[in-house]
Amino acid sequence: MRFGPWIPPLAWMGLIFWLSTGTFSAEETGSWLLPLLQALFPWATPGQLEFLHWLGRKTAHVVEYAILAWLWQRAFVKSGPPALSGSGQGLAAFGSTVAYAIFDELHQGWTGQRTASAHDVVLDAFGGGVALTLTRWGWRGTAERLTALLLWFAAGGGSFLLLVNVLAGAPARWLWGSVPLAWIMLWAWHHRRRLDRSGPRG
């Protein structure tokens, strides 16, 4: 059993754990995202801006757990117990994803700055289910392209937001840590793709 395939889902869980701290509460993200949305959509009402902020946060839930489920699926396929195969690997990946979604919501409640939400667990499970369904249907290429798109969006979009904050003289806060992390994950993804294409040597 190789440990390497288990590193990406564990690392991604660590990132989700960090994103669940008070630093990323709705009040905190709203402090920089709402002014940005106001600049992008000057005609929008405060209610519409709040909706876009809410929608962005909920979309992040779906995306986070879609990636996590896909990473768990990859780990179980590459280095899972021999007894698991086919649908068993998918169920194990889905179960691991939902279990962490529940733990993550409990963690948010423990922070004292955020609340736990069963609705968010459903969103997380939905994101994981969609990713695993695509994989199950043999759409690995689609999942690979989606992963690449999301990583590029996180790295490129984060870099853009960081630049905007620096030029505006606004505190970038978490962007100083998350943007380099996004670029590192993007590099690791491309590196893994090259290794997969080259195949085993020797």
Q: Are residues 12 and 101 in the same domain?
A: yes
130 and 144 belong to one structural domain: no
pLDDT for the residue numbered 202: 45
Per-residue tokens: 89: 């690997």
pLDDT at 9: 92
Residue finishing a domain among 87, 118, 138: 138
Same domain, 128 and 170: no
Shared-domain flag, residues 122 and 152: no
Can you give the pTM of this predicted structure? 0.65
CB–CB of 108/20 below 8 Å?
Answer: yes
Q: What is the pLDDT along the chain (202 residues), one digit of tens a residue?
A: 567 888 999 999 998 888 887 777 777 777 778 888 888 777 878 888 888 888 888 888 888 999 999 999 888 888 777 666 667 888 899 999 999 999 988 888 887 777 778 888 888 999 898 888 877 765 556 666 667 777 787 788 778 877 876 776 766 666 677 788 888 888 887 887 787 777 654 4
Question: Are residues 107 and 145 located together in one domain of the fold?
Answer: no
- Residue where one domain finishes, among candidates 138, 162, 185: 138
DSSP state of 36: H
C-alpha gyration radius of the chain: 18
Domain that holds residue 154: 140-202
Both 14 and 113 in one domain: the answer is yes
Angstrom distance (rounded) from CA 132 to CA 129? 5
Say if residue 185 is in the same domain as residue 149: yes
Domain finish residue from 89, 115, 138 = 138
